[in-house]
Amino acid sequence: MARIIEIKGRRVWDSRGRPTVEAEVVVGRGTTPLAVGRAIAPAGASTGAGEAKSVEVGQAVRNINTRIRDALRAMSVTDQHALDRRLIELDGSADKSRLGANAMVAVSLACAHAAAASLKKPLWRHLAGERRVGLPVPQIQIFGGGAHARGRVDVQDYMIVCTGAGSFAEALEWTAQVYAAAGARLAKRGALQGVADEGGYWPAFKTNEEALAELVGAIADAGLEPGTDVSIALDIAASQLYRGGSYHFALENRTLSAEQLHAMLLRWIERYPIVSIEDPFAEHDAAAMRAFTKAAGIQVVGDDFFVTNEQKVRNADGACNAVLLKPNQVGTVSETLACWQAARDAGYRGIVSARSGETEDVSIVHLAVGWGVPQLKVGSFSRSERMAKWNEGLRIEEALGAKALPYPARRLFKPR
Ligand code: PGA
Ligand code: ZN
């Protein structure tokens, strides 16, 4: 059995040029090293109030190199639950603020990588065990807004879902065409202002709805059928817009009540081929979420609303019908998996997600495949911290070949 013989933390840099923490876990028999696992903590910008708390990067590195190293050394690397339990006990706080969620998630993921490496398996295969697996359906950002583009538009993510694609590779082919078409349209109108934090275009639109019309135009320009081949997913990230009881849409200089926002989103669903909306209301407003999920008849995703917390999902009572799974929102691999299990128990869908601050780390792609989570959200179709993840998906799809489960896009998103 491979045991942990060394753990090391180091300060590295993320896609926004901000410091973050990397963990390296060395495993072996006796003192002979056998394998190494490595992972880097991501960071959010529109974080939920209920997220596990990170600590300053220097402190996270010190925590890894001292307390965490001492606590996990000599433990079996293949018992992820025991390792994560040890981390949670060692931290001892309700919000991971002693060790830091950044330190914990880097170590937890690095242990998973080291376990897989010690068994000479890719991580997705190690996590899947004997289960048959397949590739998830991507949600890919075309326009970025909200906290990722200094509020240039209010809605945070305008994404596409290639609902008619027959494979992960085909979904990426179509996304490349839509991304190029959207860029060309913006450039032609003089509305292209670079790219936002997750690589989607930073657009100069006059209204939030204009972005929806442009997105439909870009899908058609790419020679694809809106609503059949390619549909739309939104992340409103509404907690960011909520102040003093209402929702502020600064671009349009409008303030909406929860009822007015509900009505506006239903109107958008009627007019545009929208198949998924994330965080349509503020994180505390379960009643508004529940009413919207009931009325919308589409996928409604809780991100800030659930913060990857198993208990919040178990208590949701129909407030959403899908859960965003971000390992650093909760702090460990095992707790992320428990949240996915809670989602399945409730009949909710799952989407593994990156953060707006990312790196070359591709662990989340392995989690989605290995755990059988049928959707994946990692930002746009540019910037290498995003492309690294899409490309890893391509490698896994190739490795699975004919053994892959059927690609689930058409099953999940039947044309309306
Ligand atoms: P964040 O946003 O990573 O900046 O928190 C991503 C999201 O809201 O999905
Ligand atoms: Zn979100």
Residue 414: its pLDDT value, please?
84
Residues 32, 58: contact at Cβ < 8 Å?
Answer: no
Residue 155, helix vs strand vs coil: coil
CA gap 261, 414 in Å, rounded: 26
CA gap 348, 366 in Å, rounded: 21
Residue 219: its pLDDT value, please?
98
**Eight-state DSSP code of residue 302:** E
The CATH code for residues 3-120 is 3.30.390.10
Residue 146 has pLDDT above 90, yes or no: yes
Residue 216: its pLDDT value, please?
98
Residues of the chain with CATH 3.30.390.10: 3-120
Q: pLDDT, tens digit, for every residue of 243-253?
A: 999 999 999 99
Beta bridge partners of 351: 324, 375
Residue 1: its pLDDT value, please?
79
Q: pLDDT, tens digit, for every residue of 200-253?
A: 999 899 999 999 999 999 999 999 999 999 999 999 999 999 999 999 999 999
309-to-111, 186, 274, 341 alpha-carbon distances in Å: 21, 39, 26, 11
Find the mean pLDDT for residues 108-114: 98
* Chain centroid, CA 352 distance in Å: 5
Residue ranges with CB less than 5 Å from ion ligand 2: 235, 278, 303
- Determine if ligand 1 sits within 6 Å of the CB of residue 14: no
pLDDT band at 416 (very low <50, low <70, confident <90, very high): low
| Interior/surface letters 344-366, b for 16+ CB within 10 angstroms, e for the rest | bebebbbbbbbbbbbbebbbbbb
**Nearest CA to 174 among 114, 220, 136, 238?**
220
CA gap 33, 69 in Å, rounded: 16
Measured from the Cα of 304, ligand 1's closest atom is 8
Residues 178, 218: contact at Cβ < 8 Å?
Answer: yes
Residue 336: its pLDDT value, please?
99
How far separated are the first and last CA of the chain, in Å rounded? Answer: 52
Q: What angle do CA 170, 175, 180 make, to 5 degrees?
A: 135
**22 an active-site residue?**
no
Sheet holding 246-249, edge to edge: 242-243, 246-249, 254-256
Contacts of 376 (CB under 8 A, 6+ apart): 136, 137, 138, 139, 351, 352, 353, 364, 365, 368, 389, 393
Q: pLDDT, tens digit, for every residue of 180-197?
A: 999 999 999 999 989 999
Q: pLDDT, tens digit, for every residue of 260-290?
A: 999 999 999 999 999 999 999 999 999 999 9
Token pair 């072996």 is found at 28
Give the mean pLDDT of the chain: 97
Of 3.40.1710.10, 3.40.50.720, 3.20.20.120, 3.40.190.10, the CATH number of 137-412 is: 3.20.20.120
Q: From ligand 2's centre to the CA of 408, what distance in Å?
A: 22
Beta bridge partners of 280: none
Residue of the nearest CA to atom 1 in ligand 1?
Answer: 44
**Nearest CA to 387 among 370, 362, 355?**
362
- Determine if ligand 1 sits within 6 Å of the CB of residue 99: no
Tokens of 361: 């780390």
Other Cβ atoms less than 10 A from the Cβ of 97: the count is 14
pLDDT band at 309 (very low <50, low <70, confident <90, very high): very high
pLDDT band at 95 (very low <50, low <70, confident <90, very high): very high
Pocket-testing residue among 16, 278, 281, 353, ligand 1, by greatest number of atoms within 8 A of Cβ: 353
Residue 365 has pLDDT above 80, yes or no: yes
Tokens of 17: 């040029």
Give residue 100's region: left, alpha or beta (phi > 0; psi -120 to 50): left
Find the mean pLDDT for residues 109-137: 98
If you write DSSP's letter for every residue of 259-300 in order, what string do you get?
HHHHHHHHHHHHHS-EEEEE--S-TT-HHHHHHHHHHH-SEE
Q: pLDDT, tens digit, for every residue of 26-82?
A: 999 988 999 999 999 999 999 999 999 999 999 999 999 999 999 999 999 999 999
Residues of the chain with CATH 3.20.20.120: 137-412
Residue 10 has pLDDT above 90, yes or no: yes
**Nearest CA to 383 among 403, 357, 411?**
357
Q: pLDDT, tens digit, for every residue of 327-339?
A: 999 999 999 999 9
Residue 192 half-sphere exposure, CB side, CA atoms within 13 Å?
17
Beta bridge partners of 248: 255
Catalytic residue among 96, 312, 326, 389: 326
Q: pLDDT, tens digit, for every residue of 392-413?
A: 999 999 999 999 999 999 999 9
Please report, as a single letter, which amino acid is at residue 352.
V
- Determine if ligand 1 sits within 6 Å of the CB of residue 239: no
Q: From ligand 2's centre to the CA of 235, what distance in Å?
A: 6
Residue 335: its pLDDT value, please?
98
150-to-2, 45, 89, 204, 385 alpha-carbon distances in Å: 47, 11, 38, 12, 20
How, if at all, do strands 322-325 and 349-353 pair?
A: parallel
Q: From ligand 2's centre to the CA of 278, what distance in Å?
A: 6
CA gap 51, 126 in Å, rounded: 28
Q: Is the dihedral of CA 182, 183, 188, 191 positive or negative?
A: positive
**385 an active-site residue?**
no
Residues 87, 73: contact at Cβ < 8 Å?
Answer: no
Residues 292, 269: contact at Cβ < 8 Å?
Answer: no
- Determine if ligand 1 sits within 6 Å of the CB of residue 329: no
Residue 15: its pLDDT value, please?
98
Residue 315 has pLDDT above 80, yes or no: yes
CA gap 298, 304 in Å, rounded: 19
Residue 346, helix vs strand vs coil: helix
Q: From ligand 1's centre to the CA of 297, what distance in Å?
A: 24
Catalytic residue among 24, 51, 198, 392: 198
Tokens of 214: 């442009």
- Determine if ligand 1 sits within 6 Å of the CB of residue 333: no
